[in-house]
Structure 1
Amino acid sequence: MSITATETRSVIVEREIPYPPEKIWRALTQPHLIEDWLMKNDFKPVADHRFSLRADWGSVDCQVLAIEALKSLSYTWAAYGLESIVTWTLTPTSRGTHLRMEQAGFRPDQEKAYQGAKYGWQQFFTNLEQVLARAD
Structure 2
Amino acid sequence: MTATPAAVQTVTVERAMPHPPEKLWRALTQPHLIAEWLMQNDFSPERGHRFQLRGEWGGVLDCEVLEIDPYETLAYSWNFASDDPAFALESVVTFTLTPTPGGTLLRMEQTGFRPDQKQAFGGAKLGWQQFLGKLDELAGRLD
Q: Is the 8 A contact 1:76 1:84 kept in 2?
A: yes
- 2:47 & 2:121 partners in 1: Cα distance? 26
- 1:92 & 1:86 partners in 2: Cα distance? 20
Q: What is the aligned partner in structure 1 of residue 85 from structure 2?
A: none
User: Which amino acid in the other structure matches residue 65 of structure 1?
Assistant: L
- 1:125 & 1:88 partners in 2: Cα distance? 11
When normalised by structure 1's length, the TM-score is 0.95
After superposition, give the CA deviation of every residue in 1:72-113 in whole Å (9 maximum; x if it has no partner): 000000014100000000000111101000000100111111
Q: Is the 8 A contact 1:84 1:103 kept in 2?
A: yes
Q: Is the 8 A contact 2:91 2:111 kept in 1?
A: yes
Moved more, 65-74 or 5-14: 5-14
Please say if 1:9 is aligned against 2:9: yes
Alignment coverage as a number of residue pairs: 134
When normalised by structure 2's length, the TM-score is 0.90
Q: What is the aligned partner in structure 1 of residue 73 from structure 2?
A: 72
Q: Displacement, 1:4?
A: 4.3
Q: Is the 8 A contact 2:6 2:115 kept in 1?
A: no
Please say if 1:108 is aligned against 2:103: no
- 1:121 & 1:5 partners in 2: Cα distance? 26
Q: What is the aligned partner in structure 2 of residue 134 from structure 1?
A: 141
SS at match of 1:124: helix
Q: What is the aligned partner in structure 1 of residue 39 from structure 2?
A: 39
Q: Displacement, 1:55?
A: 1.4
* Runs of at least 4 residues off by over 2 Å: 3-6
User: Which amino acid in the other structure matches residue 128 of structure 1?
Assistant: L
Which ranges in structure 1 are unaligned for 5 or more consecutive residues?
Answer: none
Percent identity between matched residues is: 57
- 2:30 & 2:105 partners in 1: Cα distance? 20
- 1:111 & 1:4 partners in 2: Cα distance? 20
User: Which amino acid in the other structure matches residue 77 of structure 2?
Assistant: T
Q: Displacement, 1:59?
A: 1.1
User: Which amino acid in the other structure matches residue 116 of structure 1?
Assistant: G
After superposition, give the CA deviation of every residue in 1:26-85 in whole Å (9 maximum; x if it has no partner): 000000000000000000000000000001221111000010000000000001410000
- 2:121 & 2:115 partners in 1: Cα distance? 9
SS at match of 1:26: helix
